[in-house]
Amino acid sequence: MRETWHFINTKSNDPYYNMAVDEALMNFVSRGEIDPVIRFYTWNPATLSIGYFQKLTKEIDIEKVKEKGYGLVRRATGGRGVLHDKELTYSVIVPESHPNMPKTVTEAYRVISEGLLEGFKTLGFDAYFSIPKTKEARDKLKTPRSSVCFDAPSWYELVVEDRKIAGSAQTRQKGVILQHGSILQDIDVDELFDMFIYRNDRLKDKMKAAFIDKAVAINDLSDRHITLEEMETAFYEGFKKGLDIEYKPLIFTEAQLNEIKEIEEKYKSEEWTYRK
C-alpha cells in the first residue's frame, strides 16, 4: 500500500499569503493535525523573494522593485533572490522523523526532488541531478558570488542540458522539513537583474551572462509552449511517482485559516522584511 499524503493547490495569491501558508503547514504537520503535504501555488503580483539570511538593503534595489510593481517578501528558507513570475511554485512539508527522509539536508533534498525529476520527465525533458564532482566545485557552493538564485546548480539541483531548471530551498523547524522552490515556465533575465545591486555595470553584465549560461526555463528548452496547467498536471503526477504516494485533498479548517491570517501579518511587517 502506498502512503497517502495531503495535496493542495492554493493557486494565485499575494506573497504574504503564500509564505504564511507554507509556515502554517509546517505548524499543522508539527502538531500532527495533517499528514505530509504537497502544495502548488503561483504569485500575484509577480514577486521578488529573498532568502532568510540575505541583506536586503545591500543586495536589492528596493526602489526598482517598487517601480516595477513587484511584490517583495523574505522567505523563511535560505538561499538567494528569486523572481516569482511565470512559474509553478511547489512546497513539500514532511516530518523529519518520516522513515523515508534521510537525516542530512542534502540527502533529504535528493529524495524530495525525485518528484521534480519525474515531473520534468513527464513533460518530455531529459532531466537529471547535478552533482558537483570536484572539490573546487563543491567549495564554490559554499561561497556563492551572486545574490541571484538559479545562477549555479548546487547539490542535487535539477538540470537539463547542463542548465539549472528548478531552484529549491529547505528549512527544518519544529521537527518538520519544508522544501519549496520554483519551476520556471519562462524568465525575463533583464527584469531579474535590474533589481539587484552591483558594484558596476560591467560586473552586472558578467553575472547576467553567467546566469544565462547556467539557468533556463522550461519554454526555453521546449519546441512548443508548455502551459501552467500542463506543468501542474505533470508535477502532480511527478511527486506521486517520485515519492511513491497517493493523494487526498487538504481543506483548511476555520481555525487553520485564522492561523494563516495571523502569520501573514509577520510577512507583511517591515521588521521581518528588513531584518538584519
* Average pLDDT for the chain: 90
Do you find a cis peptide bond into 102, omega within 30 degrees of 0?
A: no
**Confidence bin at 150 (pLDDT 50/70/90):** very low
- Residue 147 in this model has a pLDDT that exceeds 50: no
Strand partners, 181: 90, 168
Beta-carbon contacts of 221 under 8 Å, excluding residues fewer than 6 positions away, are: 125, 160, 161, 165
Residue range 141-151: mean pLDDT, rounded: 46
As given in the structure block, the three cell numbers for residue 126 are 531529459
As given in the structure block, the three cell numbers for residue 141 are 557552493
User: What angle is formed at CA 109 by the lines to CA 149 and CA 47, rounded to 5 degrees?
Assistant: 35
As given in the structure block, the three cell numbers for residue 169 are 530551498
**Confidence bin at 85 (pLDDT 50/70/90):** very high
Question: Higher model confidence: residue 239 or residue 143?
Answer: 239
pTM over the 0.75 mark: yes
Distances (CA, A) of 120 to 114, 125, 136, 241: 10, 5, 29, 12
Question: Higher model confidence: residue 92 or residue 276?
Answer: 92
Residue range 90-95: mean pLDDT, rounded: 98
- The whole-number pLDDT of residue 98 equals 97
**Confidence bin at 151 (pLDDT 50/70/90):** very low
| Active-site residue identified among 94, 149, 165, 260 | 149
**Confidence bin at 81 (pLDDT 50/70/90):** confident
73 catalytic? Reply is no
Residues in the chain, total: 276
List the one residue out of 243, 224, 9, 1 whose CA is nearest residue 119.
243
List the one residue out of 169, 168, 163, 158 whose CA is nearest residue 189.
163
- The whole-number pLDDT of residue 149 equals 45
Residue position matching grid coordinates 525525485: 114
